[in-house]
Amino acid sequence: MRLEILPVPGIGDVTEGDDLAAMIATAAPWLRDGDVLVVTSKIVSKAEGRLVDVPADGPERLAARDEVLAAETTRVVATRGATRIVQTHHGFVMASAGIDASNVDKTRLVLLPEDPDASARALRAALRDRYDLDVAVIISDTMGRPWRNGLTDVALGVAGMSAIRDHRGEIDPYGNELQLTQMAVVDELAGAGELIKGKCDQVPVAVVRGYLGAARPDDGDGARALVRDAEMDLFSLGTAEAQAAGLRAAATLADGPGPTPADPAAVDRAVAAVADVVAPGTVFTHVTDEEVRAGLVATVPGWPAQATGLVLGAPPAPVDQPDLVRFGADLQRLRTALAAEGISSALLPPPDGSTASGALAV
């Protein structure tokens, strides 16, 4: 495969109501079937009128921007100082909901397209119907990435090609069947297009030639295929927000074991989460079901039979008042960690014969 990445200069400033298909076709009369158009989302937003008026500067501008951000946000993921990482109504997780103040008048902000997939489909249809061009269209925007510095362009909307190249079931050169590999090819093409578009060069459209033999006959599922389902998201919150959520859960979970036995692996994760912050000498130990039930019956008559786990803590001996205070704090830390795993618990006296100074029923 040989790829070419070609700039489309000469489009000029885009304003509300402009005909993007005409502007692109005029600026790039050399377009041909099978090309992939990578179009910066900002010119799509401008043409669609996705702009809001704000003061040019001062606290009023910041207040107005905050209001716009709140309207574009469905969920706050993380906040650090002035930085807000949020999930938009499209499902994208990005800084400031993609709201942009660059390459636009100082009294306006540019929002993301309302429906980038629909925008890509409309642009593709216009180029096909009016200019007899069968191309694929990617609407792109810039995002940061967790754990990596720097920005890269990704696809917000797609039409005429699949967003993901699924290699599952294929056999590699060593005879191994691929089980998990799904490549976000439209993100890779968006990043390739950004190499020649840039932020200050006023080249909002690039063409990637050679990747597709031909655009697919239908528009495909769009970039929505790239949005991970919430139940599959292992990093749905920032660290501080996850800790706060655990504290809130600790305050609202029932004071007692849940209706089903706690997952031992989840209990182990909770113990591991506090292992490095507890007072020296404090340990947490699992005991057997028989010991649990015997202890619970001895200390809390009538305790429900589904309580199948008990975690004991033993402070160093001899125990003085500060030790007990620290130990109580350690038990609360553990309870919070359990709550973060969705496990309710209850503080209990230790079972008979135990040297521990506290216990948790889970």
pLDDT at 140: 97
Confidence (pLDDT) at 199 = 64
Say if residue 318 is preceded by a cis peptide, omega within 30 of 0: yes
Q: Which residue has the tokens 């996850």?
A: 242
Answer yes or no: are the C-beta atoms of 361 and 310 closer than 8 Å.
yes
Which pLDDT value is given to residue 44? 97
The pLDDT-based confidence of 350 (bands split at 50, 70, 90) is low
Compute the distance between CA of residue 158 and CA of residue 137 in angstroms, rounded to an integer.
Answer: 6
Cα torsion 288, 292, 295, 298: sign: negative
Report the pLDDT averaged over residues 45-56.
Answer: 93
**Higher-confidence residue: 354 or 268?**
268
**Is pLDDT at 210 greater than 90 in this prediction?**
yes
Average of per-residue pLDDT across 337-347: 79
Domain boundaries, the chain: 4-232, 253-360
What pLDDT is recorded for position 291?
54
| pLDDT for position 143 | 93
Q: Which of 116, 70, 65, 120 is nearest to 90 (CA)?
A: 116
Q: Is the pLDDT of residue 136 over 60?
A: yes
Tens digits of residue pLDDT in 60-118: 899 999 999 999 999 999 999 889 999 999 999 999 999 998 888 889 999 999 999 99
**DSSP of 98-120:** G-B-TTS-TTEEEPPPS-HHHHH
d(CA 310, CA 362): 6
CA 205 to chain centre: 27
What would you measure as the largest C-alpha separation in the chain, in angstroms? 87
- Give the pLDDT of residue 224: 92
pLDDT, greater one: 314 or 262: 262
Q: Which one has a higher pLDDT value, 294 or 233? A: 233
The predicted model scores a pTM of: 0.74
Q: Which residues contact 236 (CB under 8 A, 6 or more apart)?
A: 77, 230
Are 111 and 72 a contacting pair, CB within 8 Å? yes
The residue with greater pLDDT, 303 or 360, is 360
- CB distance 306 to 332 below 8 Å: no
Q: Which pLDDT score is estimated for 124? A: 97
* CA dist 239 → 56, 86, 227, 243, 272 (Å): 34, 14, 21, 6, 16
Q: Is the pLDDT of residue 286 over 70?
A: no
pLDDT digit string, tens, across residues 323-340:
667 767 777 788 888 888
Look at residue 146 in the predicted model and tell me its pLDDT.
Answer: 87
pLDDT at 230: 83
Q: Is the pLDDT score of 312 beyond 80?
A: no
Return the residue matching tokens 């079937």: 33
Question: Which pLDDT does position 67 carry in this prediction?
Answer: 93
Per-residue pLDDT at 339? 81
**Phi, psi for 71 (deg, rounded to 5):** -70, -30
Six token digits for residue 202: 């006023």
Question: Which runs of E-coded beta strand occur in 119-163?
Answer: 136-145, 148-159
- Residue 248 clears pLDDT 50, i.e. is over it: yes
Give the closest residue to 8 by CA, choosing from 173, 248, 26: 26
Mean pLDDT for 187-192 is 96
Q: What pLDDT band is residue 349 in, cutting at 50, 70 and 90?
A: low
Q: How confident is the model at residue 297 (pLDDT cuts 50, 70, 90)?
A: very low
Tell me the fold of 4-232: 60s Ribosomal Protein L30; Chain: A; (3.30.1330)
Q: What is the pLDDT of residue 324?
A: 65
What would the DSSP string read from start to end of 24-68? HHHH-TT--TT-EEEEEHHHHHHHTT-EEE--SSHHHHHHHHHHH
307 pLDDT exceeds 50?
no
Helix (H, G, I), strand (E, B) or coil at 310: strand
Of all helices (H) and strands (E), which one includes residue 73? strand 73-80
Q: What's the average model confidence in pLDDT over 132-159? A: 95
